[in-house]
């Protein structure tokens, strides 16, 4: 296969050169280097007439060598590609994920790059916001060179137009996931990909600037039977994608985040045409109880996120709970409006026995609703409460006495004290992880005592540093409290390392790791989706 002229290939070096080079390699690549260079040292130490020793790695098939490369990190793979021409070729042909700096200069480098990396199936193109991005010609060339592309991510590629995206739809027929953000092309470019890529399953659109007015005639994008997930984020005219959502009969997940306009009527149309939706995420959206009533007809609904939707009340939540009995994950950020509380949660407790995860931020539940949830939802394993003024010792005692299946408990900024925490010493027999943050009534001594009472089978993370924050205090890019997300995103983690109870200032994300989607499963595309900015063309 072709190789990039800009990346040098190295023949077998002399023994002195080999020693110098090996000293610079990390441990993961040292053994591989040694296997190639060892025979040269033997040859150099022998007589001049002796035949050179044979390179034993030549007996290793290319397929096995590729498997070895796939187990290495990005840096080690790059170094191994410099060992010899064969390793350079095999490493390039076995690399399936690539992240590139998508500046305009990529047009000149693309032929050499994709001549070497001709098996790429996951590609990320990200440009600095202050730089000129690649254009339609470069994207068309890349699409033609990557017919097996299954995942494409575009970030800040402002020079791209609908024509460039049409090339993707024409050449990358097997594309399964498209994620675009801060680009300037319009709905026609998205439509070209949806129509051309019949296998497209996931579509994520964020801050797309070329969208038309929703009242414009003839601007509807037809749906796709293959689409399983649609995420629209920070779109001024995001409602122009409503026909696409309603026309995707097999859609399972819908996320609408900070998109302008009134969505009640559109949600009614979507729910009527796509009743099989399993996951719905509504964040900072103009939606009311009328929209929730429409979504209640999605009988298969399992996951519901209501984040900062102040027009939604107990009545809307109750309507969903009464019809969607399969609900197992509910996240509510009430934004301190007190429009969702005990009344709605009581209906959830009575109608949703399969509930496994409940996250309440800026909501004020009492023992009246929490007691019913603990008694009726026997599968409740994960519970998080942040910024609640009513979740105190009585409520945590109620949880401890009735939640027999609870495994993870997160509490932030709530008026609980050592007295309430002591109830966990005997209750919740399956509890393995407790996270307490900014609860001034809980002391490190109580946390240490609690771990001792559970014979070391309970990990308690206590962070009392800093003042108590209100949910409306510090909003991150996604619209949620960043600290709350770090706290809650780990509530579903399975393997948790035990930790001491002393106060810590390091964030939950640093200690425990962070999920890439909020399904609490580590994303295999994390390294692919975050390209390095240290070089023009970053290989991962």
Dmax (CA) of the chain: 92
Spatial distance between the Cα atoms of 113 and 102, rounded to a whole number of angstroms = 13
Task: Dig out the tokens for 270 from the structure.
Answer: 């979507």
pLDDT (0 to 100) of residue 34: 52
pLDDT (0 to 100) of residue 200: 96
85 part of a folded domain: yes
pLDDT above 70: residue 267? yes
pLDDT above 90: residue 42? no
70 part of a folded domain: yes
475 part of a folded domain: no
**Among 88-97, 131-140, 269-278, which stretch is predicted with the lowest mean pLDDT?**
88-97
Q: Quote the domain boundaries for residue 72.
A: 61-95
Where does the pLDDT of residue 58 fall: very low under 50, low under 70, confident under 90, or very high at 90 and above? confident
- Average pLDDT on 254-270 reads 94
pLDDT above 50: residue 419? yes
Q: Encode pLDDT of 119-143 as tens digits.
A: 999 999 999 989 999 999 999 999 9
Beta strand spans in 277-424 (E)? 279-283, 303-307, 329-333, 357-361, 382-386, 408-412
308 part of a folded domain: no
56 part of a folded domain: no
**Among 217-226, 329-338, 339-348, 473-482, which stretch is predicted with the lowest mean pLDDT?**
473-482
Who has greater pLDDT, 348 or 534?
A: 348
pLDDT (0 to 100) of residue 210: 79
Q: How many folded domains does the chain comprise?
A: 1
Residue identified by tokens 């990039």 is: 4
149 part of a folded domain: no
Where does the pLDDT of residue 73 fall: very low under 50, low under 70, confident under 90, or very high at 90 and above? confident
pLDDT (0 to 100) of residue 44: 46
pLDDT above 50: residue 252? yes
Residue 175: C-alpha distances to residues 83, 137, 227, 296, 419 (Å) = 34, 19, 11, 32, 56
DSSP label at 210? B
438 part of a folded domain: no
Where does the pLDDT of residue 488 fall: very low under 50, low under 70, confident under 90, or very high at 90 and above? low
Spatial distance between the Cα atoms of 533 and 207, rounded to a whole number of angstroms = 21
Spatial distance between the Cα atoms of 214 and 220, rounded to a whole number of angstroms = 9
Q: Please, what's the b/e burial string for 447-473 (b: 16 or more CB within 10 A of its CB; e: otherwise)?
A: bebbbeebeeebbbbbbbeeeebebee
Beta strand spans in 382-470 (E)? 382-386, 408-412, 433-437, 459-463
Mean pLDDT, the chain, rounded, equals 81
Helix (H, G, I), strand (E, B) or coil at 448: helix
140 part of a folded domain: no
């Amino acid at each position: 296969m072709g190789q990039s002229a800009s990346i040098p290939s190295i023949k077998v070096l002399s023994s002195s050169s080999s020693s110098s080079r090996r000293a610079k390699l990390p441990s993961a690549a040292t053994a591989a280097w040694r296997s190639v260079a060892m025979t040269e040292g033997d040859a150099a130490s022998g007589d001049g007439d002796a035949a050179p020793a044979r390179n034993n790695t030549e007996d290793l098939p290319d397929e096995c060598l590729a498997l070895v490369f796939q187990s290495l990190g990005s840096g080690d793979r790059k170094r191994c590609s410099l060992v010899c021409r064969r390793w350079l070729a095999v490493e390039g042909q076995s690399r399936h994920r690539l992240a590139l700096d998508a500046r305009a200069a990529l047009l000149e480098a693309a032929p050499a790059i994709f001549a070497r990396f001709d098996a790429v199936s996951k590609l990320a193109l990200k440009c600095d916001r202050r730089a000129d991005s690649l254009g339609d010609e470069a994207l068309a060339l890349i699409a033609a060179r990557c017919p097996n592309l299954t995942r494409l991510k575009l970030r800040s590629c402002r020079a791209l137009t609908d024509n460039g995206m049409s090339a993707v739809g024409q050449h990358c027929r097997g594309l399964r996931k498209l994620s675009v953000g801060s680009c300037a092309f319009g709905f026609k470019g998205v439509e070209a990909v949806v129509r051309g890529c019949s296998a497209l399953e996931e579509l994520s659109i964020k801050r797309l600037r070329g969208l038309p007015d929703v009242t414009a005639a003839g601007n509807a994008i037809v749906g796709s039977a293959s689409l399983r997930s649609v995420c629209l984020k920070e779109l001024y005219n995001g409602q122009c994608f409503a026909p696409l959502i309603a026309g995707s009969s097999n859609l399972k997940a819908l996320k609408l985040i900070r998109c302008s306009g009134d969505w009640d009527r559109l949600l009614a149309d979507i729910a009527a045409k796509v009743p099989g939706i399993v996951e719905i995420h509504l964040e900072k959206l103009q939606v009311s109880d009328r929209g929730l009533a429409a979504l209640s007809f999605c009988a298969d609904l399992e996951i519901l996120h209501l984040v900062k939707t102040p027009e939604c009340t107990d009545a809307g939540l109750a309507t969903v709970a009464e019809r969607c009995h399969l609900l197992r994950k509910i996240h509510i950020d009430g934004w301190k409006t007190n429009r969702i509380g005990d009344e709605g949660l009581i209906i959830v407790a009575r109608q949703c026995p399969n509930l496994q995860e409940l996250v309440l931020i800026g909501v004020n539940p009492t023992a009246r609703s929490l007691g019913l949830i603990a008694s009726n939802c026997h599968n409740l394993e994960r519970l998080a409460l942040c910024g609640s003024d009513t979740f105190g010792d009585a409520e945590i005692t109620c949880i401890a006495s009735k939640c027999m299946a609870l495994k993870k408990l997160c509490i932030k900024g709530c008026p609980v004290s050592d007295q309430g925490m002591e109830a966990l010493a005997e209750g919740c027999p399956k509890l393995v992880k407790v996270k307490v943050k900014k609860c001034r009534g809980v002391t490190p001594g109580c946390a240490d005592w609690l771990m001792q009472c559970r014979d070391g089978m309970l990990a308690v993370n206590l962070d009392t540093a800093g003042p108590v924050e209100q949910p409306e205090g510090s909003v991150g890019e996604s619209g949620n409290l960043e600290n709350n997300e770090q706290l809650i995103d780990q509530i579903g983690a399975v393997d948790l390392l035990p930790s001491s109870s002393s106060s810590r200032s390091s964030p939950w994300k640093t200690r425990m790791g962070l999920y890439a989607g909020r399904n609490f499963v580590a994303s295999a595309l994390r390294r692919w989706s975050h390209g390095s900015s240290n070089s023009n063309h970053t290989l991962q």
